[in-house]
Amino acid sequence: MANPVAKKLILAALLLLPVSMYLGSLLISGAVNFRTLENIGQGPTAKGHPLRDFHLIQSTGQPWSADSLDGKIAVVSFFFSSCPTICPAMNFHLKQAHDRMFAFKDVVFVSYSIDPETDTPPVLEAYKQRFDVGGSQKWHFITGDRETIYQLAQAYFLTAMKDSAAEGGYTHSQSAVIIDWNGDIRTRLDDQNQILGAYDVSQPVQVDELVEDLRVLVKEYRQQKMGK
């Protein structure tokens, strides 16, 4: 005769199996989404934003405007190519995020130069080659009018300015922000349930969080498109 305890365990397993299989299928299909990202307001590429009508230029020589990001999830950062301090580490980590998200066609990376007089399109193209993303259509390096770029940084709650006391002559945030397909700024809550806002891309742990949150937004965006 079978052990009563063993019989109970077998019965419990049989009862839980269908539930486990159902939940597993939902998770695989993406039908269950346990969290989303906070929306902390419009970025400057959002329709109706006063800065939306800007015109800059890509490293390829092609024009760059707010329309360039319509329907895209973007990771936005600010840098300059001659930066002797934080920029190499920032872009090294952003390159890792870029590579991990390469298969996601909805996601792009956008890096604005805060020294546009030096960072002409050919200079930025050479800089892309240094990070082995010269042929990437997912990472856009942008230059153009200095004041426009500084206004964009401020609208993203990031810092970009000339600073004669700083190494390289400029001060800027070492963080990136996530912009959704509508141009809204999106972010996670931190461990204290506070809005993170920007992701410090000099820190590998926050780069991991950035990638995880991009995947959350991709799922949300695809669900929205399927629902239309």
> How far are the Cα atoms of 37, 81, 166 from residue 169, in angstroms, in the given order?
35, 12, 5
The per-residue pLDDT for 118 is 96
Is the predicted pLDDT of residue 26 greater than 90, yes or no? no
Is the Cβ–Cβ distance between 198 and 43 less than 8 Å? no
Poorest-confidence range of 90-94, 123-127, 193-197, 213-217? Answer: 193-197
Is the predicted pLDDT of residue 64 greater than 50, yes or no? yes
Q: pLDDT category, 21, cuts 50, 70, 90?
A: very low
Mean pLDDT of 60-64: 97
Give the start-to-end residue ranges of the domains of the chain. 1-32, 38-227
Query: Domain 38-227 carries which CATH code?
Result: 3.40.30.10
Angle at 72 between CA 68 and CA 76, to 5 degrees: 80
Burial 15-29 (b: 16+ CB within 10 A, else e): eeeeeeeeeeeeeee
Count the residues in the chain: 228
Mean pLDDT of 112-129: 96
The per-residue pLDDT for 163 is 87
Poorest-confidence range of 1-10, 83-92, 129-138, 183-192? Answer: 1-10
Mean pLDDT of 63-73: 96
CB-neighbour burial class of residue 107 (10 A; exposed 0-12, middle 13-18, buried 19+): buried
The per-residue pLDDT for 228 is 56
Q: pLDDT category, 17, cuts 50, 70, 90?
A: very low
Q: Tell me the C-alpha distance between 198 and 194, whole Å.
A: 12
> How far are the Cα atoms of 19, 159, 172, 192, 209 from residue 200, in angstroms, in the given order?
40, 13, 12, 17, 10
> How far are the Cα atoms of 50, 95, 123, 139 from residue 131, in angstroms, in the given order?
34, 7, 13, 11
pTM given for the model: 0.82
Dump pLDDT digits (tens) for 191-204. Answer: 788 888 899 999 99
Mean pLDDT of 126-136: 91
